[in-house]
Amino acid sequence: MTALICGSMAYDTIMVFPDKFKHHILPEQVHILNVSFLVPELRREYGGCAGNIAYNLRLLGGEPLIMATVGKDFAPYSQWLGYCGISQEHITVLEDSYTAQAYITTDLDDNQITAFHPGAMSFSHRNTVPTDRGIRLGLISPDGKDGMQQHAAQFAAAGIPFIFDPGQGMPMFDGAELLDLVDKATWVTLNDYEAQLMQERTGLSADELARRVEALVITRGANGSLIHTHGQVIEIPPARPHATLDPTGCGDAYRAGLVYGLLEKLDWPTTGRIASLMGAIKVETHGTQNHTLTLAAFKERYRENFGASF
């Protein structure tokens, strides 16, 4: 079961400041801000929406194909993908760019200061959706703006159904551009904040947006998710994590569950619950690609959480 996952591949450098930013930033002096934070704790993680979604789909037994543009520093990530058994056939390496990177500093109040360098991601439009690989569905996640628009058009022209997942890339688009992408998509997935922003930019309600696609999925964090489809709203309960350590990447894990359910042609209540459980499992581990599972163990946790099997 092959899905083409279009989106970013990135390195996440995460630093922890063992104090509070507010103790070091003077509000009356922000116009001449010049501060330095000592960060004794640092880790570098493999990330990016396409990488995270593919990793989680692979855990479920899927065979994701990532389509992304990366830079000359991609070798460590490439080795990791090889170890995970994830195809790199449609990942393009640009030797004159760096792979996208996020530098995140977190304080003891969980406030974050982030700097993001898109690097090679800005050239995602150089990739073209393949039409000879038996791709059953696609997913467009945050990427270079031109790439997202071109890949949506290519999926539509090839008759390949796809999920539109604008995520943090939504601010790049105006209302008309967003509606064009929605109308080309088969499914749309958003978190609750993104859903509000989508409605403001397009002038359409959630119900009106849902009527333009097969399903509109809105995640609500610890409150579960809602799936608007064919005039009904299916409420998906949250799954129970064993621990809550790091929410980063749980949305990507959820989306991998959606892709899995669609590939397996499962109903929406089951697909949503699989997605919910994938998000809960991710929360239990620091980083976006450090959790592991077997499909058998996943099915057992599904039964424990929801009292049914799939």
Residue 33 lies in a domain: no
Is the pLDDT confidence value at 185 over 70?
yes
Strands 87-94 and 232-236: unpaired
Give the number of domains in the chain.
1
Distance CA 58, CA 65 (A): 10
pLDDT tens by residue, 198-254: 999 999 999 999 999 999 999 999 999 999 999 999 999 999 999 999 888 999 999
Q: Which amino acid is at 101?
A: Q
Q: How far is CA 109 from the centre of its chain?
A: 25
| Residue 192: predicted pLDDT | 96
| Residue 142: predicted pLDDT | 97
Distance CA 184, CA 151 (A): 10
Residue 32 lies in a domain: no
Mean pLDDT over 39-49 rounds to 95
Q: Which pair of tokens denotes residue 269?
A: 């209540």
Task: Kindly state the DSSP code that residue 24 receives in the 8-state scheme.
Answer: T
Is the pLDDT confidence value at 1 over 70?
no
pLDDT band at 11 (very low <50, low <70, confident <90, very high): very high
Residue closest to 50 by CA, chosen among 74, 18, 15: 74
pLDDT tens by residue, 61-95: 999 999 999 999 999 999 999 999 999 999 999 99
Residue 238 lies in a domain: yes
Angle subtended by helix axes 192-202 and 175-184, to nearest 10: 110
Range of the domain at 253: 2-24+41-305
| Residue 29: predicted pLDDT | 80
Average pLDDT for the chain: 96
Residue 254 lies in a domain: yes
pLDDT tens by residue, 250-285: 999 999 999 999 999 999 999 999 999 999 999 999
Phi and psi angles of residue 128, each rounded to the nearest 5 degrees, phi first: -125, 135
Residue 73 lies in a domain: yes
Is the pLDDT confidence value at 9 over 90?
yes
Residue closest to 305 by CA, chosen among 226, 231, 228, 242: 242
Residue 114 lies in a domain: yes
Which has the minimum average pLDDT: 1-5, 50-54, 78-82, 158-162?
A: 1-5
Q: Which amino acid is at 237?
A: P
Q: What is the CATH number of the domain that holds 130?
A: 3.40.1190.20
Residue 255 lies in a domain: yes
- Helices marked H in 159-267 — which ranges? 175-184, 192-202, 206-210, 250-263
Q: The whole model's pTM is what?
A: 0.94
CB atoms within 10 A of CB 158: 14
